[in-house]
Amino acid sequence: MSNEIRNLRPRSVWNKFADLNAVPRPSKKEERVIAFMIDFGESLGFEVIEDSVGNVIIKKPATIGMEDRKSIVMQSHLDMVHQKNNDTKFDFLTQGIEMYIEGDWVKANGTTLGADNGLGVATIMAVLESNDISHPAIEALFTIDEETGMTGAMGLKEGLLNGDILLNLDTEEDDEIGVGCAGGIDVTAEKDFKQVSTPVGKIGYSIVVNGLQGGHSGMDIHKGFGNANKIMNRILFDSFEKYGLRINEIDGGGLRNAIPRESRAVVAIDSLHESSFLHNLGELIRSIKLELKTTEPGLVISLTNIDTPKLIMDSDVQLGLTRALYAAWNGVYRMSPDIEGLVEASNNIARVVVKDGNIKICCLTRSSVESTKIDLAMTLRSTFELIGCKVTMSGDYPGWAPNMDSSILQLLRSLYESMYNEKPHVAACHAGLECGILGTNYPEMEMISFGPNIKGAHSPDERVQISSVNKFWNFLLEILKNIPKE
Show pLDDT as tens, one digit a residue, over the chain (486 residues): 568 999 999 999 999 999 999 999 999 999 999 999 999 999 999 999 999 999 999 999 999 999 999 999 999 999 999 999 888 999 999 999 999 999 999 999 999 999 999 999 999 999 999 999 999 999 999 999 999 889 999 999 999 999 999 999 999 999 999 999 999 999 999 999 999 999 999 999 999 999 999 999 999 999 999 999 999 999 999 999 999 999 999 999 999 999 999 999 999 999 999 999 999 999 999 999 999 999 999 999 999 999 999 999 999 999 999 999 999 999 999 999 988 899 999 999 999 999 999 999 999 999 999 999 999 999 999 999 999 999 999 989 999 988 889 999 999 999 999 999 999 999 999 988 899 999 999 999 999 999 999 999 999 999 999 999 999 999 999 999 999 999
Q: Report pLDDT for 157.
A: 96
One of 30, 79, 172, 174 is an active-site residue; which one?
A: 79
Q: Report pLDDT for 86.
A: 82
| Residues sharing a CB contact under 8 Å with residue 23, sequence separation 6 or more, in sequence order | 32, 33, 36, 96
Asked if 112 and 216 touch (Cβ cutoff 8 Å), the reply is no
Q: Report pLDDT for 312.
A: 98
φ, ψ dihedrals at 360, nearest 5° = -140, 125
φ, ψ dihedrals at 250, nearest 5° = -135, 140
> Of the candidates 311, 313, 286, which has an alpha carbon nearest to the alpha carbon of residue 299?
286
> Of the candidates 230, 239, 363, which has an alpha carbon nearest to the alpha carbon of residue 288?
230
* Domain 185-397 -> CATH class: alpha beta
Task: Clarify whether 238 is annotated catalytic.
Answer: no
**Residues in the chain, total:** 486
φ, ψ dihedrals at 257, nearest 5° = -95, 15
DSSP H stretches of helix in 199-314: 228-243, 274-291
| Residues sharing a CB contact under 8 Å with residue 370, sequence separation 6 or more, in sequence order | 183, 398, 399
Angle value at C-alpha 319, between 313 and 322, nearest 5 degrees: 95
Topology given in CATH for the domain delimited by 3-182+399-481: Aminopeptidase (3.40.630)
In whole angstroms, how far apart are CA 56 and each of 153, 155, 385?
11, 12, 41
d(Cα 168, Cα 180) in Å, to the nearest integer?
11
Q: Report pLDDT for 3.
A: 81
d(Cα 146, Cα 38) in Å, to the nearest integer?
18
d(Cα 366, Cα 181) in Å, to the nearest integer?
10
Strand ranges for 134-217 from DSSP E: 138-143, 165-168, 176-181, 183-192, 195-197, 202-210
> Of the candidates 79, 81, 55, 177, which has an alpha carbon nearest to the alpha carbon of residue 462?
81
In whole angstroms, how far apart are CA 268 and each of 238, 251, 276, 346?
14, 16, 14, 34
Q: Report pLDDT for 148.
A: 87
One of 30, 145, 146, 186 is an active-site residue; which one?
A: 146
d(Cα 73, Cα 166) in Å, to the nearest integer?
5
Q: Report pLDDT for 417.
A: 98
Amino acid at 56: V
Q: Report pLDDT for 474.
A: 98
Question: Domain-by-domain residue ranges, the chain?
Answer: 3-182+399-481, 185-397
Q: Report pLDDT for 290.
A: 98
Q: Report pLDDT for 233.
A: 98
Task: Clarify whether 146 is annotated catalytic.
Answer: yes
Calculate the CA dihedral of residues 381, 182, 93, 141 and round it to 10 degrees: -140
Amino acid at 279: H
d(Cα 413, Cα 177) in Å, to the nearest integer?
8
d(Cα 433, Cα 293) in Å, to the nearest integer?
32
Element (H, E) at 366: strand 358-367
> Of the candidates 56, 54, 58, which has an alpha carbon nearest to the alpha carbon of residue 29?
54
Q: Report pLDDT for 338.
A: 83
Q: Are strands 446-449 and 165-168 parallel, antiparallel or unpaired?
A: parallel
Asked if 225 and 332 touch (Cβ cutoff 8 Å), the reply is no
Asked if 183 and 432 touch (Cβ cutoff 8 Å), the reply is yes
State the maximum Cα–Cα separation within the chain, in Å, rounded to a whole number.
Answer: 84
> Of the candidates 52, 37, 158, 92, which has an alpha carbon nearest to the alpha carbon of residue 444?
158
DSSP H stretches of helix in 109-257: 115-129, 151-155, 228-243
